[in-house]
């Protein structure tokens, strides 16, 4: 029987709302109540004291996180953004230094450089895996380059071999933004532990969460201590602590509360199972969409496992004979929204965030103050380009070729996944009925 696409007035594949993603249960409830009853909601002191390191829940979370991921140190902070700032500061970055970073990431990955007066230099991403391309990075290294910030985008570990070789060759620090890939692995090691410093996010939108929160990991004793200082009022602590190198020892309050840490401990226990379900669901969806010529499921780098924060598919306009926007709009019309995240709609999106250099801060070169600091602080900073076209792969992925979905997350049953597959297959079959929007 011939069907009509829902976007053209036909019956949608499904109208019943999808299950919500909620990892918070009785375990977290009990943990929060334990903390509330203790009366100690945070124990940090911003001075050189036993409590400089925080309370029992924060310390337990840090110990458990370090053990689980196989890092020597884990430092809890109040967000991955704070964690990235602390990691850049701990690395001894100075104003005018250059930090190479992917443009295809959440904005904080690059803002971390700017906070320390460093200039983000954007290198393009890999066609196949969407992470920083080591060949493009090497072309941009100058004597001012001090660090690389890599991102395990969408849940896949970065090119560890390529980037690590560059770091050795040019003596650069590598900071791994692992906000999207807790539980992914490369060569058996956990993502987040694949660089000098790694940063995890515990915000509401990530695999596991504490509402807001983050963790910095490192095997380096000195870097760990510097992150702890930046987290907790460094300048008020270094004298009594007897710290020699006070570079960047300007403190913030990035401290995590005891309730968040207690929730984080329960969430960490759930992580392996949650990742396993994501991987099984992603495999099932990939298989279900494998017959669609022009839609390519996520590739997994050799030696790696994927944590599937989201699934990033490639869309080939030529093979499909229709543009991405028209196709995805039609798929979304076939499917319902999700419980708890209704405002996010159907959880299928075109592209990710626009390449960062296209945002106003870079285009207008205005960050701190009116003089354009740090973009205008010296000749070489001024010469870093943020022009459209500097990262053609990221631009092309964003504007035409990448679409993403979260519909493989835990809570989705096989029949739920079957509906997603059916929606794509239906639109594929009847795509000639769609008018190309010309977008
Ligand atoms: C979510 C995210 C962050 C920021 O995490 P917060 O904990 O919200 O600060 C940073 N980088 C990437 C890649 C992210 O996805």
Residue ranges per structural domain of the chain: 6-22+270-352+396-437, 26-267
Ligand 1, atom 14: closest residue by C-alpha: 179
Determine the pLDDT at residue 439.
47
**pLDDT string in tens for the chain (439-residue length):** 789 999 999 999 999 999 999 999 999 999 999 999 999 999 999 999 999 999 999 999 999 999 999 999 999 999 999 999 999 999 999 999 999 999 999 999 999 999 999 999 999 999 999 999 999 999 999 999 999 999 999 999 999 999 999 999 999 999 999 999 999 999 999 999 999 999 999 999 999 999 999 999 999 999 999 999 999 999 999 999 999 999 999 999 999 999 999 999 999 999 999 999 999 999 999 999 999 999 999 999 999 999 999 999 999 999 999 999 999 999 999 999 888 777 778 899 999 999 999 999 999 999 999 999 999 988 999 999 999 999 999 999 999 999 999 999 999 999 999 999 999 999 999 999 997 554 4
Ligand 1, atom 6: closest residue by C-alpha: 80
Ligand 1, atom 1: closest residue by C-alpha: 179
Q: Which residue reads 């337990």 in tokens?
A: 60
3-state secondary structure (DSSP) of residue 150: strand
CB-ligand 1 contact for 177 (6 Å cutoff): yes
- Pocket test of ligand 1: the residue of 88, 102, 132, 180 to mutate, having most ligand atoms within 8 Å of its CB, is 180
CB-ligand 1 contact for 201 (6 Å cutoff): yes
| Rounded distance from Cα 131 to ligand 1 centre (Å) | 15
**Do 26-267 and 6-22+270-352+396-437 fall under one CATH topology?**
no
Q: Which residue reads 């000639």 in tokens?
A: 432
Which pTM was predicted? 0.97
Determine the pLDDT at residue 185.
98
Kindly provide the b/e burial profile for residues 399-424, where b requires at least 16 CB atoms within 10 angstroms of the residue's own CB. Answer: ebbbbbbbbbbbbbeeebbbbbbebb
CB-ligand 1 contact for 179 (6 Å cutoff): yes
| Rounded distance from Cα 282 to ligand 1 centre (Å) | 22
Contact 237, 46 (CB under 8 A): yes
Determine the pLDDT at residue 2.
84
Ligand 1, atom 2: closest residue by C-alpha: 179
CB-ligand 1 contact for 210 (6 Å cutoff): no
| Rounded distance from Cα 228 to ligand 1 centre (Å) | 19
- Pocket test of ligand 1: the residue of 151, 179, 197, 355 to mutate, having most ligand atoms within 8 Å of its CB, is 179
| CATH 2.160.10.10 matches 6-22+270-352+396-437 | no
Strand 119-122 versus strand 145-151 pairing type: unpaired
Contact 164, 174 (CB under 8 A): yes
In ligand 1, the atom with minimum distance to the C-alpha of 213 is 7
Determine the pLDDT at residue 436.
59
| CATH 3.40.640.10 matches 26-267 | yes
Residue 370 CB coordination number (10 Å)? 6
DSSP code of residue 219: S
Q: Most distant CA pair in the chain: distance in Å?
A: 80
- Pocket test of ligand 1: the residue of 108, 180, 211, 231 to mutate, having most ligand atoms within 8 Å of its CB, is 108
CB-ligand 1 contact for 257 (6 Å cutoff): no
| Rounded distance from Cα 418 to ligand 1 centre (Å) | 31
């Amino acid at each position: 029987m011939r069907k009509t696409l829902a976007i053209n007035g036909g019956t949608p594949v499904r109208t019943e709302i999808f299950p919500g993603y909620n990892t918070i249960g009785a375990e977290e409830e009990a943990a929060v109540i334990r903390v509330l009853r203790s009366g100690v909601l945070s124990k940090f002191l911003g001075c050189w004291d036993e409590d400089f390191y925080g309370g029992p829940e924060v310390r337990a979370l840090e110990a458990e996180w370090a053990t689980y991921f196989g890092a020597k140190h884990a430092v809890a902070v109040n967000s991955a953004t704070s964690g990235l700032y602390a990691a850049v500061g701990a690395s001894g970055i100075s104003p005018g230094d250059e930090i190479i970073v992917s443009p295809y990431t959440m904005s904080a990955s690059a803002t971390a450089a700017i906070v320390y007066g460093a200039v983000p230099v954007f290198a393009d991403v890999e066609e196949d895996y969407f992470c920083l391309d080591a060949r493009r990075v090497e072309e941009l290294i100058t004597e001012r380059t001090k660090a690389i910030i890599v991102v395990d985008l969408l849940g896949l570990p970065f090119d560890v071999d390529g980037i690590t070789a560059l770091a050795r060759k040019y003596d650069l620090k590598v900071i791994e933004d692992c906000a999207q890939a807790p539980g992914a692995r490369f060569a058996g090691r956990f993502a987040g532990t694949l660089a000098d410093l790694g940063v995890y996010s515990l915000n509401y939108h990530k695999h596991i969460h504490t509402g807001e929160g983050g963790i910095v990991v490192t095997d380096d004793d000195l870097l760990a201590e510097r992150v702890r200082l930046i987290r907790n009022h460094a300048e008020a602590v270094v004298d009594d602590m007897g710290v020699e190198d006070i570079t960047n020892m300007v403190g913030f309050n990035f401290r995590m509360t005891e309730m968040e840490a207690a929730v984080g401990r329960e969430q960490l226990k759930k992580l392996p199972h949650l990742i396993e379900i994501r991987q099984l669901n992603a495999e099932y969806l990939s298989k279900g969409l494998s017959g669609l010529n022009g839609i390519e499921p996520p590739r997994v780098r050799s030696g790696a496992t994927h944590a599937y924060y989201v699934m990033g598919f490639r869309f080939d306009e030529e093979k499909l004979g229709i543009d991405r926007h028209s196709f995805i709009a039609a798929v979304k019309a076939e499917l319902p929204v999700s419980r708890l995240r209704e405002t996010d709609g159907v959880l299928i999106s075109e592209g990710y965030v626009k390449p960062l250099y296209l945002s106003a801060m870079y285009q207008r070169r205005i960050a701190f103050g009116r003089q354009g600091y740090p973009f205008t602080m010296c000749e070489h900073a001024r010469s870093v380009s943020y022009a459209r076209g500097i990262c053609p792969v990221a631009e092309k992925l964003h504007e035409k070729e990448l679409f993403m979905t979260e519909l493989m997350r835990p809570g989705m049953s096989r029949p739920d996944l079957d509906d997603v597959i059916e929606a794509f297959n239906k639109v594929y079959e009847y795509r000639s009925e769609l008018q190309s929007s010309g977008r």
